[in-house]
Structures are given as C-alpha cells and as structure tokens.
Amino acid sequence: MGEPALRIESVGLQPAAGRALAAWLARVAPARARGAVTVAVTTDARVRALNSRFRRVRAATDVLSFPAGERGVLGDIVIAAGVARRQARAAGHPVATELKVLALHGLLHLMGYDHETDDGRMARAEARLRRKGGLENGLIERSGRQPASGVSGRRTRP
C-alpha cells in the first residue's frame, strides 16, 4: 500500500487562518506529496533557538523544515511570525500571503528539494506551484537566491 495522502495541520494560527493555510497548501502541493505535515507559526525567538541548535546560525530565519524520515510523516515546517510580518510588509502583501510563500517553500524542502544544490530544480517547482496557488512570487525568486553547492539554509533534520 502507498503512502497516505497529504495531511496538513497548522499550529500557532487562529483556527480559521490555520485551516485556510492548510487547505491552500494541500491544493497546490505536488501530487507526490504524501504524509502528515505540521506547519507551526511561532515566535522569532523560538525560530532563532531552533536555527542555532540545528544550523549553528544565531539568528531567526523565515522558515525551517524538519523532514521526519518516517513512513506516513513528511515532517514539520516552522515559520517565524515576526519575520513573516516584516517580509509581508516589505513585499506589500498580507501576512496570510507571506505564510503561503513560506509554507510552500518549506514543503518543497520536506520533499527533498534544495535550492542551494539542485541547479534550479526547486526554483522551477516553486514557480510552477506558486502560480497554481495564485502567488505573484516565491521565496527563491523574490530573494534572488541562486543555486550553489553547499548545505541548504532551510532544510535540516532535528
């Protein structure tokens, strides 16, 4: 029997906002995305602590992905609420839109994409899926990140 369908739970958002984000992400996710995903929106301080512990970077980042490595569970996406608010303001769109941008980016990392090492494969997938989901731009495109060799700045294992 194959992997179970994609199931998304959100934590740290008002219930209606969490359901809306989860439904949007499930709708735009690649067809091969299978398993449980938790999207947690938390404080910048919490993300800074996770970033320090798992990546040895002593700063908050916008999104971290933690692949589960177990059957039926894809992993966790952790988003820094304050960083998301600031990025939304800078991009001129609502915070809900920024959460979609970050959740999509995190989901692609959970699926094994790595924009730092995959010669544009993740950027192409992100562009296709963000268009499907009605987003003007994605995180990779917006930041001008180019593929390079090295360790991903977003994907990590706890």
Closest CA to 51 of 76, 78, 74, 69: 78
Task: Give me 145's structure tokens.
Answer: 């990140």
Q: How many whole angstroms separate alpha carbon 80 and alpha carbon 42?
A: 5
Helices (H), 11-148: 15-28, 44-55, 81-91, 95-110, 121-132, 139-143
Average pLDDT score, the chain: 88
Q: What's the pLDDT tens digit per position in 61-97?
A: 999 999 998 999 999 999 999 999 999 999 999 999 9
Query: Would you write out the chain's pLDDT as a tens digit for each of its 158 residues?
Result: 455 689 999 999 999 999 999 999 999 999 999 999 999 999 999 999 999 999 999 988 999 999 998 999 999 999 999 999 999 999 999 999 999 999 999 999 999 998 888 888 999 999 999 999 999 888 887 776 543 322 334 444 44
Torsion angle, alpha carbons of 14, 16, 17, 19, to 10: 120
| 78 in Cβ contact with 64 (< 8 Å) | yes
Q: At what angle do helices 95-110 and 121-132 cross, to 10 degrees?
A: 140
